[in-house]
Structure 1
């Protein structure tokens, strides 16, 4: 799927979800003073005034990491990780909009713009992980240790993410209906989309675990230097993103004005912070600095002699000029005195 089309679908879904709160809000009479009682202000989608200090600090941190990513991008390249760079800048802009929203708590346009940036940035973070797993596995020429073609990992999970996000948008729009029965159905659809999205990322995390489990049994692969710190960094981001996903699922299961939703400290501590910590590791473990052409595993480096029993079937064939060269390899070893046992 073209990445531009994916970004467009994410944007449409985010706007649809944002319209949920605004549609419900339009039926209420807004108080003249939005700062008098924000907790009971039906026209304030947050039900609180965003903290100046917390949002300013988050904005500064996200932009600092975004600039570090930009430096890595220009120095080491790696177009496939450009989504992470853009997503981090997007998150920083989202916090700027949260700060400006402090002065316009009843602004529909301000809320839609803020919501769009805040919701889209984590999608870019997830997409970066989806892309990276396939890149690492292809770099190691170890696709046999996955139950999904590594070249298709990013496509499968990005499509899954978009579909579940659109389900949430449909549920969000339905839940803003005037009819109580329709609203109840909308809430259930919305939660189903959230649960499906969480399940999708859990499956991706399981894929990460499966490859690690199988790769540990391969002595040649496991002793290969360079890739493991990056791979464990990827696993760390999975843990951080899962914390955020569980929080979002529980938060929205309480409704749009639940306890977790109307207290900013939970959003900052269980959403913004895990996302930030998760992406910040890539400042040090920039993939294109580690997965270089010099460190790429070549098919000729494998040898069936490194496997025994069932593992022999997993070993990639060693070929030279398009034909098996096992006999030639053994002959060369005998000539060098290395083929004798």
Structure 2
């Protein structure tokens, strides 16, 4: 992630934290003495429920187990480009730990802010991993012509899109903490717009994944090549899982901060934490740096050889003592002659 983008993300996190803290301080005088007596109607408990000890502890253990597997893969197979998934999985586990902390501090604005930021921001690293992986696979196959965006630009475009949509959500979160009811309603709508934009962005990325699959499927040479299709389908599976989570978050906020989906933990666990976990779990087996190795990379010469017909388009044979003229396949599909050495 570019340094400027990371700075913008930190500023947004700070703004959201300050806004949430101000809202909690304003409501502090109206908090009930016993936060566990009636959490569903407790205005000082933003969740409106007490997080389950068993569910969150189990989820926390699973996320950290996957993080350990990713860490092992990272040290064994390297691949710095996928380090974002390792970090994101760890921070997601921290978010679940903080949910366990929050259940003991239901009126603590600091505990809620920390928990909320880790839970909401961690999936951004999961999306970034998918953005990076698509470009890597296409480059590995030397199949840029089947993708209408340059592979090197895919991660940049969509990561910037994620940053922008998050900033919109931060603005909405800050506005929704205002004392005016009208301003709060505007803030909710802004936040919802940010979530919807993020959903649309990832939906477009998923369509991009599908377009490449359809085009590559028609290429017999590429499709018969082993070593990439399982990883590519694993990437598509994660897209489905992440879209489920994005749809849930969008619908959840459309009901408001205290809507039915927001105040029932089973929806968070079943439609947020679980799809994200299942989505990243496939990378334990299909770790990209293990599959996309230099010895399996498609070379341009392989494309050229595969494009020749056995009789009509066979490359010219070099005669003894004569210069070698080889036909290479240009990017536009035409053949260009280049003079070789003796």
Matched, 1:153 2:165: no
CA contact (8 A) 2:221 2:306 kept: no
Range with greater deviation from structure 2 (247-256 or 166-175): 166-175
CA deviations over 1:58-113 (Å, ceiling 9, x no partner): 00000000000000001111100000001101111111111111111111111121
What does 1:196-235 align with in structure 2 at a 5 Å threshold? 196-235=197-236
CA contact (8 A) 1:11 1:120 kept: no
Matched, 1:124 2:125: yes
- 1:259 & 1:131 partners in 2: Cα distance? 36
Aligned to 2:244: 243
Aligned to 2:88: 87
Per-residue deviation, 1:318? 6.0
- 2:268 & 2:11 partners in 1: Cα distance? 23
What does 1:1-341 align with in structure 2 at a 5 Å threshold? 2=2, 4-28=3-27, 29-303=30-304, 306=307, 317=329, 324=336
CA deviations over 1:285-332 (Å, ceiling 9, x no partner): 000000000000000101276389xxxxxxx8269xxx945899xxxx
Aligned residue-pair number = 317
Per-residue deviation, 1:185? 2.0
- 2:298 & 2:231 partners in 1: Cα distance? 16
SS of the residue corresponding to residue 46 of structure 1 reads coil
Per-residue deviation, 1:179? 2.2
- 1:215 & 1:157 partners in 2: Cα distance? 22
TM-score, normalization: structure 1?
Answer: 0.88
Unaligned runs of 5+ in 2: 310-327
Unaligned runs of 5+ in 1: 309-315, 329-341
CA contact (8 A) 1:19 1:112 kept: no
CA deviations over 1:145-180 (Å, ceiling 9, x no partner): 111110010000000001011001111211222223
- 1:250 & 1:22 partners in 2: Cα distance? 25
- 1:185 & 1:304 partners in 2: Cα distance? 61
Aligned to 2:325: none
- 1:250 & 1:305 partners in 2: Cα distance? 49
CA contact (8 A) 2:20 2:109 kept: no
- 2:308 & 2:46 partners in 1: Cα distance? 60
Coordinate RMSD, CA, aligned: 2.1
CA contact (8 A) 1:260 1:266 kept: yes
SS of the residue corresponding to residue 149 of structure 2 reads coil
Range with greater deviation from structure 2 (74-83 or 12-21): 12-21
TM-score, normalization: structure 2?
Answer: 0.88
SS of the residue corresponding to residue 34 of structure 2 reads coil
